A and B are shown apart, each in its own frame.
Chain A
Amino acid sequence: MIANDDVSFDIGRGEIHALLGENGAGKSTLVKMIYGLVAPDKGEMQLDGARYAPTKPSEARRAGIAMVFQHFSLFDALNVAENVALGMETPPPMSDLARQIREVSETYGLPLDPGRTVGTLSAGERQRVEIIRCLLQNPRLLIMDEPTSVLTPQEVEILFETLRKLKAEGTSILYISHKLEEIRTLCDNATILRLGKKVDTCIPSQSSARQMAEMMVGSSFATPEARGGTAGEVLLAVRDLHLPAPGAFGTPLRGISFEVRAGEVLGIGGVAGNGQDELLSALSGERAAPAGSIMLDGKDISRAGPVARRGMGVLSGPEERLGHAAAPDMSLIENGVLTAARSEGMLTRGFISWTKARTFAEEVIAHFDVRTPSPGTAARALSGGNLQKFVVGREILQSPQVLVLNQPTWGVDAAAAAFIRQSVLDLAAKGAAVVVISQDLDELMEVSDRFGALNEGRLSQTPPVASLNIEQIGLMMGGAHDMEVAHVDV
């Protein structure tokens, strides 16, 4: 595999430079080379005119390069100050460090308590830990890998203010994203990667999102069709669902109520860690809910387990592909059997018909364009996007009455994501009730008829999408109490 092929670009002092590309375009590999985690086979890098070839991250840090990772490299059981200390070359004593953290967090408008245990922080706060860890080292170049994927619109604004202030101070920023609007508002220049090659550069403020998207994808892709279907009877009704947190770092569900009608898609947004996983496991039956809180077509299914609910046509696709939606070391055929054995008639007196199982897996693969050597390939061996197509397709092909999906297109490239969304819309058009839980607001706006947001385990009202603007959505995601507002001293 060649992740990067002959890529060159440069970043000026105090410039915010965007690195734009699909999933798998080679953005992450490129920044890993800059950060010293991967060594390039060929070519060279220069920092301030001098040759720069880091062999490990500590060398990169010493050279003034800091990185905020996409998946935070934080330690849940340690506190903020300890986490920050681990990312520094020569950390000061803990008491001094706590004071410095407070200072930097005030200067840059990123409120954070150094004594808090990281496991109890929200995704936005966790990102602040990473950013402050970087800022304490006065970096010359700050690399940010998809920083906004877990933030509310308000938190994104806070982050952008911080980045603009850093830029004004002369720090260069390499900003990696596939969110075009963000890049247009924030970045000075953009380098676009596709399949590991640099395909183009542009000045984002002077290009349209559509132009950049086409450079990124290389071809136009189908956007889901809008539709104005009429909703039928209420299929799934959740009434005042309370459920305690499953573990030390989980979120309790607090009085969640909503209804989904046949032919309708309900989009549920919210920042990660506000009860999404817990809501999915309550709806799928992994955790039994208090009697009377979940009704299917007027029938109480709150106490039914996952198998019973599947039997009634309530299917679900959890967020975590490997380990939750699919068993990593089992083949696609076996993974198909795991959820579809009953509904697809693969069982006779407890024995599995492998012919039927293979046919079903092949159907999913063909219908959802899953790229795999064979249906016998282990789930682990598939790329994230392909496995996602398989696990979502597996549920959709069983023609459920109610389908609950959590992050159905997370880490999936744009073309495949569009296809998954279209399949969800088609399923609803056939009369199913669909609940899509996602952190991608654009996605929710595209597929949902109605929208609600989770905040600390509470669900907002679920008004029709057409009646909402981005401000209102941001407030819904922020919940009853407002976000701490940034106070940036410029």
Chain B
Amino acid sequence: MDLSSINPILLVASIMVSATPILLAAIGEMVVEKSGVLNLGVEGMMITGAVVGFAVAVNSTSPAAGFLAAAVAGALLSLAFGVLTQFLLSNQVATGLGLTLVGLGMSSLIGKPYEGMKSPTLPKLDIPLLSDLPVVGRMLFSHDLMVYLSLVLVALVWAFLKYTRAGLILRAVGESHDSAHALGYKVVRIRLIAILFGGACAGLGGAYLSLVRVPQWTEGMTAGAGWIALAIVVFASWRAGRVAIGAYLFGGVTVLQLNLQAAGADVPVALLSASPYLVTIIVLVIISALGAHGAPASLGRPFHASS
């Protein structure tokens, strides 16, 4: 094995790129779950975002338009979930699973003509001073805009939930929808907004995969990233900071094991490929075992104003 073939600067840089799609999807899903809704359709919304973002970016030659379209597509798909579960009171687990199947199927249909094409991608930012710093400049400050936006989004979600009244109401709805209703809050409306936000975030995460990380369209390219995002939310005990840790950990181990494979490490490839999943779950299980779990008390329970 030749460890010197691994460049630490490139390693850290690619970790950030690899973590971003999962981080986007997970922070969105965290908000959804904080409002008391369990949307298992993250994978479906991600891949829909990936294909729609790719198609729009190719046709308009604008990656920004692609990201925007991906967010809208993810939100629209989640709206279907919202209407089904919040108004028609369908089962959240079954509907979420259905959403994933719809997303996977629909994306391969839409994506067929785009296979093998190359998309315009986001430019790397050249931040004055910061990007020119030795080592850290290339590691941390020479990425595309979405990497930083995703981190800003995590901070915003954290502050929103902790300090704003709207965030308090969202948490209250997730804790006890009956009490929130008794106090006169619009449970269904608040949950729909959260669901839409979650859908848009998952769409952005998908588009980041097809427009920046790969950047290409291949069928089923999310490869379980949506499920990892879901698991990260749970093991991160519904806290924004821990979601970021989980996403970066998963991204980090993914990139590291690819590098190790390339360097010819003397470990079975199957084990290396499984390692991101194992390490993320083990670390987050330890974190959540140390502290309170804090699952929103109304998570996954259907709400109707009459009961």
| Residue ranges of A at the interface with B (Cβ–Cβ < 8 Å) | 36-37, 56-58, 61, 69, 72-78, 82, 85-87, 91, 248
Question: Would A76 and B176 count as touching, CB distance under 8 A?
Answer: yes
Question: Would B168 and A85 count as touching, CB distance under 8 A?
Answer: yes
Question: Would B182 and A69 count as touching, CB distance under 8 A?
Answer: yes
> In the complex, A73 Cα to B178 Cα: how many Å?
8
Q: Least Cβ distance of A326 to chain B in Å?
A: 17
Contacts A75-B176, A77-B297, A82-B168 hold; do A248 and B292 have CB atoms under 8 A apart? yes
CB of B184 closer than 8 Å to a CB of A: yes
Question: Would A87 and B168 count as touching, CB distance under 8 A?
Answer: no
CB of B169 closer than 8 Å to a CB of A: yes
CB of B241 closer than 8 Å to a CB of A: no
Question: Would B183 and A87 count as touching, CB distance under 8 A?
Answer: yes
Partner of A91, one of B165, B172, B182, B294: B165
Contacts A37-B182, A87-B183 hold; do A76 and B172 have CB atoms under 8 A apart? no
Q: Which residue of A lies closest to B176 (CB)?
A: A75
Question: Would B179 and A73 count as touching, CB distance under 8 A?
Answer: yes
Question: Would B294 and A77 count as touching, CB distance under 8 A?
Answer: yes
Question: Would A73 and B183 count as touching, CB distance under 8 A?
Answer: yes
CB of B175 closer than 8 Å to a CB of A: yes
Q: Tell me the residues in window 209-245 of chain B with beta carbons closer than 8 Å to chain A beta carbons.
A: none
Q: Least Cβ distance of A334 to chain B in Å?
A: 22
B180 partner residues in chain A, CB cutoff 8 A: 73, 75, 86
CB of B143 closer than 8 Å to a CB of A: no
Question: Would A86 and B297 count as touching, CB distance under 8 A?
Answer: no
Question: Would B182 and A86 count as touching, CB distance under 8 A?
Answer: no
Question: Would A75 and B179 count as touching, CB distance under 8 A?
Answer: yes
CB of B191 closer than 8 Å to a CB of A: no
> In the complex, A69 Cα to B178 Cα: how many Å?
12
Q: Which 3 A-B pairs have the closest CB atoms?
A: A57-B184, A73-B179, A73-B182
B183 partner residues in chain A, CB cutoff 8 A: 57, 73, 86-87
A86 partner residues in chain B, CB cutoff 8 A: 168-169, 172, 180, 183, 185
Q: For chains A and B in complex, what number of residue pairs have CB atoms within 8 angstroms?
A: 49
A-B contact pairs, 23 of them (CB 8 A): A37-B182, A56-B184, A57-B182, A58-B184, A69-B182, A73-B176, A73-B180, A73-B182, A74-B179, A75-B175, A75-B179, A75-B180, A77-B171, A78-B168, A78-B175, A85-B168, A86-B168, A86-B172, A86-B180, A86-B185, A87-B183, A91-B165, A248-B292
> In the complex, A461 Cα to B160 Cα: how many Å?
51
> In the complex, A180 Cα to B5 Cα: how many Å?
85
> In the complex, A91 Cα to B165 Cα: how many Å?
9
Q: Least Cβ distance of A130 to chain B in Å?
A: 11
The secondary structure that dominates the A interface is: loop
Q: Least Cβ distance of A146 to chain B in Å?
A: 15
Question: Would B297 and A76 count as touching, CB distance under 8 A?
Answer: yes
A69 partner residues in chain B, CB cutoff 8 A: 182
Question: How many residues of chain B get a CB closer than 8 Å to chain A's CBs?
Answer: 18
Q: Which residue of A lies closest to B296 (CB)?
A: A77
The secondary structure that dominates the B interface is: helix
A61 partner residues in chain B, CB cutoff 8 A: 184
Q: Least Cβ distance of B183 to chain A in Å?
A: 6
Q: Least Cβ distance of B235 to chain A in Å?
A: 18
Contacts A85-B165, A91-B165, A248-B292 hold; do A78 and B184 have CB atoms under 8 A apart? no
Q: Tell me the residues in window 127-183 of chain B with beta carbons closer than 8 Å to chain A beta carbons.
A: 165, 168-169, 171-172, 175-176, 178-180, 182-183
A85 partner residues in chain B, CB cutoff 8 A: 165, 168
A58 partner residues in chain B, CB cutoff 8 A: 184
Q: Least Cβ distance of B249 to chain A in Å?
A: 26
Question: Would B182 and A75 count as touching, CB distance under 8 A?
Answer: no
Question: Would A77 and B175 count as touching, CB distance under 8 A?
Answer: yes
B168 partner residues in chain A, CB cutoff 8 A: 78, 82, 85-86
Q: Least Cβ distance of A14 to chain B in Å?
A: 27
Q: Least Cβ distance of B265 to chain A in Å?
A: 43
Q: Least Cβ distance of A221 to chain B in Å?
A: 31
Question: Would A76 and B165 count as touching, CB distance under 8 A?
Answer: no
A74 partner residues in chain B, CB cutoff 8 A: 176, 179
Q: Which residue of B lies closest to A85 (CB)?
A: B168
Known: A76-B297, A77-B175, A82-B168. 20 other contacts (CB 8 A): A36-B184, A37-B182, A57-B184, A61-B184, A72-B179, A73-B178, A73-B179, A73-B180, A73-B182, A73-B183, A74-B176, A75-B175, A75-B179, A76-B176, A78-B175, A82-B172, A85-B165, A86-B172, A86-B183, A87-B183
Q: Tell me the residues in window 181-203 of chain B with beta carbons closer than 8 Å to chain A beta carbons.
A: 182-185
Question: Would B172 and A78 count as touching, CB distance under 8 A?
Answer: yes
Question: Would B182 and A78 count as touching, CB distance under 8 A?
Answer: no
Q: Which residue of A lies closest to B184 (CB)?
A: A57
Q: Least Cβ distance of B92 to chain A in Å?
A: 18
Q: Which residue of A lies closest to B186 (CB)?
A: A56
A82 partner residues in chain B, CB cutoff 8 A: 168, 172
Q: Least Cβ distance of A183 to chain B in Å?
A: 25
Q: Which residue of B lies closest to A72 (CB)?
A: B179
Q: Which residue of B lies closest to A133 (CB)?
A: B183
> In the complex, A77 Cα to B294 Cα: how many Å?
8
Q: Least Cβ distance of B305 to chain A in Å?
A: 10
Q: Least Cβ distance of B166 to chain A in Å?
A: 12
A77 partner residues in chain B, CB cutoff 8 A: 171, 175, 294, 296-297
> In the complex, A155 Cα to B249 Cα: how many Å?
52
Q: Least Cβ distance of B299 to chain A in Å?
A: 11
Residue among A56, A73, A85 with most chain B CB within 10 A = A73
Partner of B171, one of A37, A57, A78, A87: A78
Q: Which residue of B lies closest to A94 (CB)?
A: B163
Interface string of B280-301 (1 = CB under 8 A from A): 0000000000001010110000
> In the complex, A240 Cα to B169 Cα: how many Å?
45
Q: Least Cβ distance of A60 to chain B in Å?
A: 9
B171 partner residues in chain A, CB cutoff 8 A: 75, 77-78
Q: Least Cβ distance of B170 to chain A in Å?
A: 11
> In the complex, A345 Cα to B125 Cα: how many Å?
78
> In the complex, A37 Cα to B185 Cα: how many Å?
11
Q: Which residue of A lies closest to B292 (CB)?
A: A248
A37 partner residues in chain B, CB cutoff 8 A: 182
Q: Least Cβ distance of A240 to chain B in Å?
A: 31
A73 partner residues in chain B, CB cutoff 8 A: 176, 178-180, 182-183
